[in-house]
């Protein structure tokens, strides 16, 4: 009795019918259907090969090798190639399953903190397991040449687990949404009337938006948006104090004193909430950014000043707040020079940065920013990567827009492949740029199948530009056309070392070559 040893070590009785079925399937795959007699002839050849070896046990791989040999010797080379291709595909599927099981087992023991805002709890581990599973699903279902490019490191698909599910990040139109109210899916939130409520709801906006997306979110004009709720709060305080019979200068002094206290409470709440409230099934805190620094009123300046002060204090025991990323905008005539009206805010921001390494600073006088600022569009950034202002499909600006998906090109790999040949490097780089473009276009073709109801908050509540007139069953494709699709790179210094033996910080030649690479 002949036994076949399966890949998992099990032994089963040899069954020649399985060989016949495999040959038929391979022939049908390429449209070259064999007669039953031809199939049986090939099968018999395989049996003869096995009998010649006089084995009691034979592995699956050995049987498959003999099937290919029989097909070639019978003159069916096309069928042999189809059979071989099928074998490779099945091997790939098995490897995916095996790798996935290893990853799941590892996550069950301990969650790696790939992101600082992801924890180790049950929700985090469950999310990681789902994430790893969907990564393999997406690799398996995309064109093979794209999957291979990712697997061998030619390019890197960011957030592969979200490839078919959602988009990256968003500059929330905070002021507009707060003025009209919103629905998180469990009930309607009315427009706030006080600074404390507005500040709290600004955090809810970040949290709810993050549940729909895989990247971060920002308030692109936080101080000016929050300033809208200062005057109503001031009037509420005024009304209360007047009811106590307080009038005149004392009234105005007490109003501003109490208002200052309430703004401090509101801004402290923002810092605390963004470092404690959970998003994405409780697995992490919101990845958030706040843009400020160019107030258009004294009330906005108050919000900016107090927020920086509260952030500088840290959390309850002085701990460093992980979030939000703070982007302080610097502008000539506004806050850059000592004679500017809001220079004291810039000075405070520098003091906070020296202690907390946050905020980072954005130069509004730079040509690419000033162009839009002069037209009435306030530049903002996501804090870690996303910057967008131009728009080929509509009005410029950042509100209601973000990055849809990024991909990264591995420059050191190209440097090694070029083998000191600079012309070859640029030739390969051009090919990788085309590959990256094709990858993003494929991701676009996948994402446009999503409907508004798949992104119920950011699309359903009109946070994203392009979603305004869509119904729940409409495609999100209009939204996809309003965002950016990013091609980035990694490892410029290492690529230069591979090419010419030194990086851009070591010689003028390397610096010039580096510039050629990044402006290609």
pLDDT in tens, the chain (520 residues): 788 888 778 889 989 999 999 898 888 878 888 889 998 999 999 889 888 888 888 888 888 899 899 999 888 888 888 888 888 877 776 666 666 666 666 666 665 545 554 556 666 676 777 777 888 889 988 998 999 999 999 999 999 999 999 999 999 999 999 999 999 988 999 999 999 999 999 999 999 999 999 999 999 999 999 999 999 999 999 999 999 999 989 999 999 999 999 999 999 999 999 999 988 766 678 899 999 999 999 999 999 999 999 999 999 999 999 999 999 999 999 999 999 999 999 999 999 999 999 999 999 999 999 999 999 999 999 876 688 999 999 999 999 999 999 999 999 999 999 999 999 999 999 999 999 999 999 999 999 999 999 999 999 999 999 999 999 999 999 999 999 999 999 999 999 999 999 999 999 999 999 999 999 8
What's the pLDDT at 120? 60
Q: How far apart are CA 193 and CA 97, in angstroms?
A: 54
Of 311, 320, 312, which is closest to residue 267 (Cα–Cα)? 311
The answer to whether residues 413 and 323 belong to one domain is no
| Residue 258 near residue 210, CB atoms below 8 Å | no
Tokens of 64: 């498959």
The answer to whether residues 173 and 163 belong to one domain is no
The answer to whether residues 150 and 50 belong to one domain is no
Asked if the structure places residue 136 within a domain, the reply is no
Q: Please, is 299 exposed, middle or buried when counting C-beta atoms within 10 Å of its C-beta (0-12, 13-18, 19+)?
A: buried
Of 205, 170, 208, 177, which is closest to residue 191 (Cα–Cα)? 177
Of 215, 133, 165, which is closest to residue 455 (Cα–Cα)? 165
Q: How far apart are CA 76 and CA 88, in angstroms?
A: 19
The answer to whether residues 466 and 334 belong to one domain is no
The last residue of a domain, from among 101, 130, 159:
130
The answer to whether residues 86 and 188 belong to one domain is no
Of 382, 460, 463, which is closest to residue 177 (Cα–Cα)? 463
Q: How far apart are CA 368 and CA 390, in angstroms?
A: 10
The Cα-based distances of 211 to 167, 302, 321, 446, 465 in angstroms read 11, 31, 21, 20, 18
CA atoms within 13 A on the CB side of 85: 12
The last residue of a domain, from among 325, 360, 394:
394
Which residue has tokens 């900016």? 304
The Cα-based distances of 328 to 302, 349, 431 in angstroms read 14, 7, 39
Q: How far apart are CA 217 and CA 207, in angstroms?
A: 9
Q: How far apart are CA 301 and CA 294, in angstroms?
A: 8
Whether a cis peptide bond, with omega within 30° of 0, leads into 484 is: no
Of 301, 383, 300, which is closest to residue 344 (Cα–Cα)? 301
> How many beta carbons lie within 10 A of that of residue 33, not counting itself?
11
The answer to whether residues 163 and 176 belong to one domain is no
Asked if the structure places residue 22 within a domain, the reply is yes
The last residue of a domain, from among 394, 410, 432:
394
H or E stretch covering 461 = none
What crossing angle do the helices spanning 195-210 and 248-273 adopt, rounded to 10°?
Answer: 20
What's the pLDDT at 132? 78
What are the beta bridge partners of residue 183? 188
The answer to whether residues 15 and 120 belong to one domain is yes
In terms of residue numbers, what domain contains 155? 142-167+402-519
Q: How far apart are CA 15 and CA 19, in angstroms?
A: 8
> How many beta carbons lie within 10 A of that of residue 184, not counting itself?
15
List Cβ<8 Å contacts ≥24 apart for 124-133. Answer: 124/282, 124/283, 124/284, 126/281, 126/283, 127/280, 127/281, 127/283, 128/283, 129/104, 130/161, 131/161, 132/100, 132/103, 132/104, 132/107, 132/161, 133/100, 133/104
Q: How far apart are CA 466 and CA 483, in angstroms?
A: 10
Of 186, 221, 224, 230, which is closest to residue 204 (Cα–Cα)? 186
Of 414, 439, 419, which is closest to residue 154 (Cα–Cα)? 414
Asked if the structure places residue 135 within a domain, the reply is no
H or E stretch covering 243 = helix 230-243
Count of domains in the chain? 3
Q: How far apart are CA 244 and CA 239, in angstroms?
A: 9
Q: How far apart are CA 171 and CA 65, in angstroms?
A: 57
Q: How far apart are CA 116 and CA 206, in angstroms?
A: 17
| Residue 220 near residue 288, CB atoms below 8 Å | no
Sign of CA dihedral 103, 104, 107, 109: negative
The answer to whether residues 88 and 229 belong to one domain is no
Buried b (16+ CB within 10 A) or exposed e, 355-367: ebebbeebebeee
Asked if the structure places residue 175 within a domain, the reply is yes
The answer to whether residues 255 and 207 belong to one domain is yes
Asked if the structure places residue 137 within a domain, the reply is no
Pairing of strands 484-490, 57-59: unpaired
Q: How far apart are CA 237 and CA 306, in angstroms?
A: 19
What's the pLDDT at 135? 87
The answer to whether residues 211 and 339 belong to one domain is yes
Asked if the structure places residue 442 within a domain, the reply is yes
The answer to whether residues 72 and 193 belong to one domain is no
| Residue 488 near residue 407, CB atoms below 8 Å | yes
| Residue 177 near residue 221, CB atoms below 8 Å | no
How far from chain centre, in Å, is Cα 370?
Answer: 28
The answer to whether residues 85 and 102 belong to one domain is yes
């Amino acid at each position: 009795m002949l036994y076949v040893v399966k890949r998992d070590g099990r032994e089963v009785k040899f069954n020649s019918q399985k060989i016949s079925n495999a040959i038929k399937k391979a022939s049908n795959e390429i449209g070259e259907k064999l007669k039953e007699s031809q199939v049986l002839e090939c099968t018999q050849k395989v049996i003869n090969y096995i009998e010649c070896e006089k084995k009691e046990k034979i592995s699956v791989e050995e049987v498959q090798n003999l099937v290919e040999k029989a097909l070639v010797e019978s003159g069916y080379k096309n069928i042999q190639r189809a059979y071989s291709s099928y074998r490779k595909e099945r091997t790939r599927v098995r490897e995916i399953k095996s790798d996935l099981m290893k990853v799941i087992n590892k996550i069950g023991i301990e969650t790696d903190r790939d992101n600082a805002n992801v924890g180790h709890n049950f929700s985090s581990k469950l999310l990681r397991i789902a994430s790893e599973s969907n990564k393999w699903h997406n690799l398996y279902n995309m064109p093979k040449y794209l999957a291979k490019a990712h697997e061998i490191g030619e390019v890197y698909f960011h957030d592969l687990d979200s490839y078919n599910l959602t988009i990256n990040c968003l500059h929330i139109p905070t002021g507009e949404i707060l003025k009209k109210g919103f629905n998180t899916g469990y009930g309607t939130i009315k427009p706030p009337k006080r600074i404390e409520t507005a500040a709290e709801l600004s955090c809810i906006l970040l949290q709810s938006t993050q549940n729909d997306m895989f990247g971060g979110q920002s308030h692109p004009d936080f101080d000016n948006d929050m300033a809208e709720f200062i005057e109503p709060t001031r009037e509420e305080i005024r009304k209360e104090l007047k009811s106590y019979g307080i009038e005149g200068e004392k009234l105005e002094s007490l109003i501003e004193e109490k208002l200052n206290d309430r703004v401090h409470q509101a801004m402290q709440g923002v810092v605390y909430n963004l470092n404690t409230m959970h998003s994405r099934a409780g697995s992490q805190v919101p990845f958030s950014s706040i843009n400020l620094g160019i107030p258009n009123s004294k009330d906005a300046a108050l919000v900016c000043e107090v927020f920086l002060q509260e952030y500088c204090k840290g959390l309850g025991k002085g701990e460093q707040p992980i979030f939000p990323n703070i982007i302080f905008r610097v502008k000539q005539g506004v806050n850059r020079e000592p004679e500017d009206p809001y220079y004291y805010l810039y000075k405070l921001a520098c003091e906070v940065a020296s202690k907390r390494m946050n905020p980072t600073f954005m130069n509004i006088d730079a040509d690419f920013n000033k162009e839009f600022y002069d037209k009435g569009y306030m530049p903002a950034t996501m804090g870690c990567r996303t910057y967008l202002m131009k728009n080929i499909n509509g009005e410029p600006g950042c509100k209601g827009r973000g990055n849809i998906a990024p991909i990264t090109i591995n420059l050191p790999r190209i440097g090694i492949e070029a083998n000191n040949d600079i012309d070859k490097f640029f030739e390969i780089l051009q090919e990788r740029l085309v590959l990256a473009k094709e990858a993003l276009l494929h991701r676009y073709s996948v994402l446009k199948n999503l409907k508004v109801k798949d992104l119920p908050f950011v699309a359903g509540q009109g946070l994203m530009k392009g979603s305004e007139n869509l119904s729940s069953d409409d495609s999100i494709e209009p939204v996809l056309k309003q965002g950016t699709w990013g091609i980035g790179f990694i490892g410029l210094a290492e690529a230069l070392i591979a090419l010419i033996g030194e990086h851009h910080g070591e010689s003028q030649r390397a610096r010039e070559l580096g510039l050629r690479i990044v402006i290609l």
